Amino acid sequence: AQTVTQSQPEMSVQEAETVTLSCTYDTSESNYYLFWYKQPPSRQMILVIRQEAYKQQNATENRFSVNFQKAAKSFSLKISDSQLGDTAMYFCAPGSSNYGGATNKLIFGTGTLLAVQP
Amino acid sequence: NAGVTQTPKFQVLKTGQSMTLQCAQDMNHNSMYWYRQDPGMGLRLIYYSASEGTTDKGEVPNGYNVSRLNKREFSLRLESAAPSQTSVYFCASSPRGGGLGRMNTEAFFGQGTRLTVV
């Protein structure tokens, strides 16, 4: 079974600074996607960024980028120029292609609560 | 532009009561999921449906049943609610229904249902 570890329950960063959220996971699969989701106080789950495991190039999406280390099974999220609107819970979620059958689903970490301070 | 719609948004039940959480998606997705979110636990998969007509247990299925009524709708039923089922419930859907090589498992989420069992 897949496991996901987010070792930082809470983090704080000053506005305009950079912060990195860590995530490690365990999987026996060779091809998969990984995702970071954001959950602001509104409770809505919002996709932040995705990474394809077979691609060596790290994904970027505006101020958000990942550091994907496949061999180490590490998938960290870097937020540059942090904004007040980035305050949210962030979840790491590797996609699984083989869970009790040919299906795809996400396994979520326990989340990191990020507070951006003015 | 509805996406994934969950009803109700809030519900209070007495121990032993039953209820059904409704979920519908209008994106023609194959896969649908029910997660529960508890403080410090992240999102945990209750049940999923890889395609119309199929359902499978996730990590925490006890006390729940599901029905994939058609491709659009996936309901979650609590037959006899218990205080341990107090949680926020999320329905999600994703386009892919299985098979290696079809790894884009990005999930689209509903707004959640806050359920309290007293």
- Alpha-carbon span B63 to B99, nearest angstrom: 30
| Per-residue pLDDT tens digits for A61-106 | 999 999 999 899 999 999 999 999 999 999 998 876 554 444 467 7
Burial class for B83, CB neighbours closer than 10 Å (0-12, 13-18, 19+): exposed
CB contact under 8 A, A35 and B106: yes
Contacts of B40 in chain A (CB under 8 A): 9, 110
User: What single letter denotes the amino acid at residue B12?
Assistant: V
Query: What is the end-to-end Cα distance of chain B in Å, rounded?
Result: 35
Contact A105 B99 (CB under 8 A): no
The answer to whether the Cβ–Cβ distance between A105 and B111 falls below 8 Å is no
Minimal CA separation from A45 to chain B, in Å: 6
Give whole-number Cα distances, A99 to A2, A48, A93, B34, B73, in Å.
Answer: 9, 24, 15, 15, 22
Set of chain B residues whose Cβ sits within 8 Å of the Cβ of A95: 103-105
At residue A101, the pLDDT reads 41
Q: What is the pLDDT of residue A97?
A: 57
Give tens-digit pLDDT for A10-40. 999 999 999 999 999 987 776 778 899 999 9
Tell me whether residues B102 and A104 touch, CB distance under 8 A: yes
β-strand B113-117 against B56-57: which pairing, if any? Answer: unpaired
Give me the residues paired with residue A78 across strands.
A20, A65
Nearest C-alpha in A relative to B37? A110
Q: Which residues of A touch B31 (CB under 8 A)?
A: 103-105
pLDDT tens track for B40-77: 888 999 998 988 888 999 889 999 999 998 999 999 99
Residue in this structure with the two tokens 């979110």, named with its chain if needed: B37
